[in-house]
Amino acid sequence: MFTRKGDRGDTDSGRKERISKGSLAVEVEGLIDESSTIIGFALVKSHWDDMIKDLEKTQDLVFNMGEHILTEGKGRVITADDVKWVEDRTTFYRDEVGKIVLFVEPGGSEESAVLHLSRVTVRRMERHIVALSEEKPIDPVVLQFANRLSSLLFMMALAVNKRLGKTERIWELRKTTS
């Protein structure tokens, strides 16, 4: 479908005004869409009901966050309860994983690698939301949610490999020889 409205390089802002497709606000909305898409990819790769349920909710919350930013809190929003849910689910998977040795090199299984890809995509989205918050007010709960979300995806990636019996590759800081 096309409307031709954006042929000059602008788009609807969500607040009944036109803004440049090159604006940081549009970049953030694009990264929110990208994050939801890669989370959707992780969702279809998942083999476990608990992770499927959590990824479905995560996708919904990412879209809610986009609406929260776009409408400046006048539509669906992220709440402190949503941040708590992410924290609780992160703790659930961390308890399953046990001791974590940093730095984990993404991989081990395709499912885990896709969750790591989701994590880094969400981190990029978060960095742009922070940059946007320097231009316009962003509800602090949105920043908290964006910050916590990558931790959840990281713990899920580690839990997947543990469930599959895959050993994580750990990057170790080594002295270089000359």
* pLDDT band at residue 23 under the 50/70/90 scheme: confident
The answer to whether 121 and 38 have CB atoms below 8 angstroms apart is yes
- pLDDT, residue 22, reads 67
Q: How far is CA 144 from CA 131, 134, 138, in A?
A: 14, 15, 11
Residues in the chain: 178
* pLDDT band at residue 11 under the 50/70/90 scheme: low
Q: Residue 143 pLDDT > 90, yes or no?
A: yes
Q: Express each pLDDT in 89-138 by its tens digit.
A: 999 999 999 988 778 878 899 999 999 999 999 999 999 999 999 999 99
Top CATH class of 16-170 equals mainly alpha
Sequence ranges of the domains in the chain:
16-170
Q: Express each pLDDT in 34-75 by its tens digit.
A: 999 999 999 999 999 999 999 999 999 999 999 999 888 888
Q: Residue 157 pLDDT > 60, yes or no?
A: yes
- pLDDT, residue 7, reads 64
Closest of 52, 22, 42 to residue 120, by C-alpha: 42
For residues 165-175, average pLDDT? 77
> Whole-prediction pTM value?
0.88
- Cα separation, 119 vs 77, in Å, equals 21
**Per the structure block, which two tokens stand in for 110?**
């395709």
